[in-house]
Amino acid sequence: MTRSDTDFTARATALDAADPLAAYPGEFVGHDDPEIVAYLDGNSLGRPTRRTAERLSAFVTEAWGRRLIRGWDEEWFELPLTLGDRIGGTLLGAAPGQTTMGDSTSVLLYKLARGALAMRPGRTEIVLDRDNFPTDRYLMESIAADSDMTLRWIDADFDGGVTAADLAAVVSERTALVVLSHVAYRSGYLLDAPALTAVTHAAGAMLLLDLCHSVGAVEIELDTWGVDFAAGCTYKYLNGGPGSPAFAYVRADHLADFRQPIWGWMGRENPFDMAHGYVPAPGIRRVISASPGIVGMLPIQDMLDLIEAAGMPRVRAKSVALTEFALDLVREWLLPRGVTVSSPIDPARRGGHVTIDHPRFREITARLWQRGVMPDFRRPHGIRLGLSPLSTTFGEVLAGVAAIRAELDADLDV
């Protein structure tokens, strides 16, 4: 063991001991599993909470098993709105009545984008960046093809993201909608959301933010920033489980005019009237189409309990501390082995994950998984270290980066 190894081990131990959120990793299933050396993929799929295991079992035997159809009247019909308000207030900086749950992120992005475009008639362009998440790009390509719109692409830095200057260079009086990810899925670049909102509005356009890689790791203030629309998933930092439902935000002053394209009975005014003709429900309910996935909403409530108890300022501080520690390890141990950093160094411009690149990382990632170290791989040759603030320890970060170093050295020894 080198002096560097000894120093970093002592530092990780001290950071975990001093961590004000040190009790939280124990709240998650698998935290004490000896086969999982380091789980560094919380920005793709968060661990389940221990309370969720109990909640799901009780739901089957009690809420579903005993209350049966009465559950819709007692809770489920309103749950997309009540849980939406809770997400809005705790995580999005959104006043009540602007956030709802249901559908996948893809479906909600589609609904929001089509509704936004209908509110800007006569404008012909959608602005987005080439490094946005594939689904976001594919959806806008589909919408543009169906609506005879033109896509205006921003070419952002590979290891950065879209700046206000980048956006100002492409928006115009023709721009109807700007679609951006608050945190870039690959680089982890954190947008200056207030500045980008101001640029968008100065052009008379609307801004749709994808919050998938920021919600639960970064403090968000949609109302204060003036963002028009937003959507995000709940299976990353909100630990809702595989395919858990997404959320949608529509700014309050847009609700009266907002019309989404997938008309369903549960988003209609007085839905149980079963009347002819679609009339959108008042308020945020109009975003809903069909019966929401109630089971998928249950785990999110447990994670919100933990985040509310911890407080988002402390969650964000832990996120920054984890990524700073990871970068220090990368600088000392991995840069000399040919690794490059593809994430912002400035924590004010960095979300909750760090991306590093090396030509051998595709093969190395598979070997890391076999040894119980679980980051994820992103093309062309990047490993993302996804550090979920409430479930990840500094010791895990140390073990994970040490394993990457060991695999790089093993390749050199072959």
Active site residues: 133, 210, 235-236, 384
Torsion (CA) 18, 19, 25, 26 in degrees, nearest 10: 40
DSSP characters over 163-218:
-HHHHHTT--TTEEEEEEESB-TTT-BBP-HHHHHHHHHHTT-EEEEE-TTTBTTB
Give the residue from 77, 70, 87, 98 showing the smallest Cα distance to 227.
98
Strand, coil or helix: 155: coil
What is the distance between the alpha carbons of residues 205 and 99, in angstroms, rounded to a whole number?
21
Residue type, 342: S
Strand, coil or helix: 100: strand
Instruction: Report H helices in 251-393.
Output: 294-310, 312-329, 361-370
Q: What is the sign, positive or negative, of the torsion defined by CA atoms of 286, 290, 291, 295?
A: negative
Residue type, 337: R
Report whether 319 contacts 389 (CB < 8 A): yes
Instruction: Report H helices in 206-281.
Output: 222-225
Cα distances from 346 to residues 51, 160, 210, 412, in angstroms, run: 36, 11, 21, 32
Expressed in angstroms, the distance from the first to the final Cα of the chain is 22
Give the residue from 396, 345, 373, 392 showing the smallest Cα distance to 408.
373
Tokens of 161: 């993201």
